[in-house]
Chains A and B, each alone.
Chain A
Amino acid sequence: TQLLEQSPQFLSIQEGENLTVYCNSSSVFSSLQWYRQEPGEGPVLLVTVVTGGEVKKLKRLTFQFGDARKDSSLHITAAQPGDTGLYLCAGANAGGTSYGKLTFGQGTILTVHP
Chain B
Amino acid sequence: DAGITQSPRYKITETGRQVTLMCHQTWSHSYMFWYRQDLGHGLRLIYYSAAADITDKGEVPDGYVVSRSKTENFPLTLESATRSQTSVYFCASSPDGTPTLYGYTFGSGTRLTVV
Contacts and interface: CB of A to CB of B under 8 A. Distances in A.
Interface string A73-114: 000000000000000101010100001111011110000000
Q: Taking each of B50, B90, B99, B107, which has the highest tally of chain A beta carbons within 10 Å of its own beta carbon? A: B99
Contacts, number: 67
Interface residue tally on B, bucketed by range = 20 to 34
Contacts of A45: 103-105
B98 interface: yes
Q: Is chain A's binding surface mostly helix, strand, loop or mixed?
A: loop
B90 A104 contact: no
Interface of B: 31, 33, 35, 40-45, 48, 50, 58-59, 90, 92, 94, 96-101, 103-109
Given A42-B90, A42-B107, A48-B99, 15 more contacts: A41-B109, A45-B103, A45-B105, A48-B100, A48-B101, A50-B100, A90-B104, A92-B99, A94-B98, A100-B50, A100-B98, A102-B104, A104-B42, A104-B43, A106-B41
